[in-house]
Amino acid sequence: AFAAFLQLSAGSFADVGLYFDPTHPTKAMADAAATVASQAPLLWLGAVAVGAIVPLAAAFLGRRTGNWKLWVPVAIAAALVGAVCMRVVFYNLGLSVFMFY
């Protein structure tokens, strides 16, 4: 019933200029320019550098040295920290992931 309601009411949210976010269906749209500003360092350093580049480097080092038991936890921890940083950026901006589609 909930899924059917979401499908049937999707058009009405677009008509009034609001997100169609099932968790916040009446939240007003944020300006697209608000996705940059002061949260950019946390996004690029936390989510991209720590969350993507560090695990990739750990994978290469694990393959090169053959010491996977050392580098796998480093890669997993860095990916989790990057995911948390991405979520913090979303919360601080007051946006949902639908803004980035």
What proportions of the chain, in percent to the nearest 5, are helix, strand and coil? 75, 0, 20
Q: Which residues span the domain enclosing 69?
A: 32-100
Distance separating alpha carbons of residues 59 and 71, to the nearest angstrom: 7
The angle at the Cα of 88, spanning 3 to 34, to the nearest 5 degrees, equals 85
Number of domains in the chain: 2
Residue with tokens 């580049």: 53
**Residues 26 and 37 reside in one and the same domain:** no
Q: What is the pLDDT of residue 14?
A: 47
**Residues 56 and 38 reside in one and the same domain:** yes
Q: What is the pLDDT of residue 72?
A: 94
Q: What is the pLDDT of residue 15?
A: 45
**Residues 22 and 61 reside in one and the same domain:** no
Q: What is the pLDDT of residue 28?
A: 64
Adjacent-strand bridge partners of 28: 18
pLDDT > 60? residue 58: yes
**Residues 58 and 86 reside in one and the same domain:** yes
* One-character DSSP codes across 28-57: BPPPGGGGSGGGHHIIIIIIIIIIIIHHHH
**Residues 19 and 52 reside in one and the same domain:** no
Distance separating alpha carbons of residues 21 and 94, to the nearest angstrom: 13
**Residues 25 and 56 reside in one and the same domain:** no
The predicted-structure confidence for 59-98, as pLDDT tens digits, reads as follows: 999 999 999 899 999 999 999 999 998 888 877 766 555 5
Task: Give the contacts of 68 (CB within 8 A, at least 6 positions apart).
Answer: 62
**Residues 89 and 68 reside in one and the same domain:** yes
**Residues 61 and 71 reside in one and the same domain:** yes
Q: What is the pLDDT of residue 31?
A: 57
The predicted-structure confidence for 12-39, as pLDDT tens digits, reads as follows: 554 445 555 566 666 665 555 555 566 7
